[in-house]
């Protein structure tokens, strides 16, 4: 019996040390992320910027932004939700903490479940996904491939809906018309050419974003972000509920359902 207690105590100690080490690494990565991007809050939104944009895109910005509103430089976000590690597996409860920069594209997200901690990131122009079992052992460390860079910056770009001045036109980002309720966004950065097709409702809310993203190592599939439950938080109107899914030949397969619980802007520090 003493041996059992000794083993359990040792396992608990390993878990605690692993959790502390992961927390230290995450804090360092957040600091690194914020250090790489400049404050651009001196830039102000002006409605004349919308003159040449497709009508549904104008509708969106007129709905969510005010004349003279500052560009967002940094965002920090918390969420609750459900997540599937694999489409064939069951839903699990997850809590997330995320940090993002806009002047230099970048983000880092930590998602925590009862069994694992995942860190998804785009820092220093490279994407990476690390999954740690019980905060101790890395069971996934995906990096050093162009598809990871593309996949992570696509996530950053789609989630710009949470820091929406990032969707305003620039030398890297352009909008193109499709019809009265949809438009195409293109984003060119660091040799990558990315796109999203956006769907808008009559109010001006973005309801769906669609692109192509690698699912696993080989298959390039249709990736969808659905956005609902818009609210004004810290003077910015954003959706607070998301459903992320793969649109496959067999149908739509959701794997992440997130609800924003907290968001703050231009505070380049960890929560």
Question: Does residue 271 form part of some domain?
Answer: no
Question: Does residue 149 form part of some domain?
Answer: yes
Question: Does residue 192 form part of some domain?
Answer: yes
Confidence of residue 9 (pLDDT cuts 50, 70, 90): low
- Model pLDDT, residue 169: 97
pTM for this prediction? 0.93
User: 170 near 47, Cβ under 8 Å?
Assistant: no
> How many structural domains does the chain have?
1
Domain of 227, CATH number, reads 2.50.20
DSSP secondary structure letter of residue 70: B
Residue 211's φ and ψ, nearest 5 degrees, are: -150, -170
Write out pLDDT tens, residues 88-109: 899 999 999 999 999 999 999 9
Residue 62's φ and ψ, nearest 5 degrees, are: -65, -30
Exposure b/e, 84-109, CB count within 10 A at least 16 = b = bbeeeeeeeebebbbbbbbbebbbbb
DSSP secondary structure letter of residue 14: H
Measured distance CA(218)–CA(147) in Å, rounded: 9
DSSP states along 127-138? EEEEEEETTTEE
Range of the structural domain that residue 169 is part of? 2-265
Question: Does residue 88 form part of some domain?
Answer: yes
Q: What mean pLDDT value characterizes the chain?
A: 93
Mean pLDDT, range 156-177, rounded to an integer:
98
Neighbours of 238 (CB within 10 A): 22
Question: Does residue 75 form part of some domain?
Answer: yes
User: 82 near 51, Cβ under 8 Å?
Assistant: no
Question: Does residue 270 form part of some domain?
Answer: no
Q: Which of 251, 254, 243, 248 is nearest to 86 (CA)?
A: 254
Question: Does residue 241 form part of some domain?
Answer: yes
Measured distance CA(22)–CA(239) in Å, rounded: 30
Question: Does residue 89 form part of some domain?
Answer: yes
Q: Which of 138, 144, 4, 162 is nearest to 74 (CA)?
A: 162
Write out pLDDT tens, residues 175-211: 999 999 999 999 999 999 999 999 999 999 999 999 9
Mean pLDDT, range 62-75, rounded to an integer:
97
User: 237 near 229, Cβ under 8 Å?
Assistant: no
Residue 104's φ and ψ, nearest 5 degrees, are: -115, 120
């Amino acid at each position: 019996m003493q041996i059992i207690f000794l083993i359990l105590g040792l396992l608990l100690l390993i878990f605690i040390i692993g959790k502390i080490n992961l927390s230290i690494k995450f804090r360092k990565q957040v600091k690194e992320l914020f250090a790489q991007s400049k404050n651009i809050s001196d830039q102000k939104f002006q409605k004349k910027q919308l003159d040449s944009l497709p009508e549904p895109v104008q509708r969106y910005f007129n709905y969510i932004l005010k004349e003279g509103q500052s560009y967002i430089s940094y965002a920090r976000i918390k969420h609750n939700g459900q997540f599937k590690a694999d489409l064939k597996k069951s839903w699990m409860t997850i809590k997330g903490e995320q940090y993002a920069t806009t002047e230099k594209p970048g983000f880092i997200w930590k998602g925590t479940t009862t069994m694992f901690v995942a860190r998804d990131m785009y820092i220093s122009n490279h994407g990476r996904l690390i999954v740690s079992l019980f905060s101790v052992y890395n069971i996934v460390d995906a990096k050093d491939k162009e598809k990871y860079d593309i996949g992570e910056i696509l996530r950053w770009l789609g989630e710009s809906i949470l820091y929406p001045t990032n969707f305003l036109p620039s030398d890297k980002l352009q909008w193109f018309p499709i019809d009265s309720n949809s438009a195409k966004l293109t984003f060119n950065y660091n040799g990558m050419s990315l796109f999203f097709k956006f769907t808008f409702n009559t109010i001006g809310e973005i309801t769906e974003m669609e692109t192509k993203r690698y699912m696993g190592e080989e298959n390039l599939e249709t990736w969808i972000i659905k956005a609902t439950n818009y609210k004004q938080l810290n003077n910015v109107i954003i959706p607070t509920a998301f459903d992320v899914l793969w649109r496959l030949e067999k149908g739509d397969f959701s794997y992440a359902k997130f609800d924003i619980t907290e968001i703050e802007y231009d505070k380049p520090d960890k929560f």
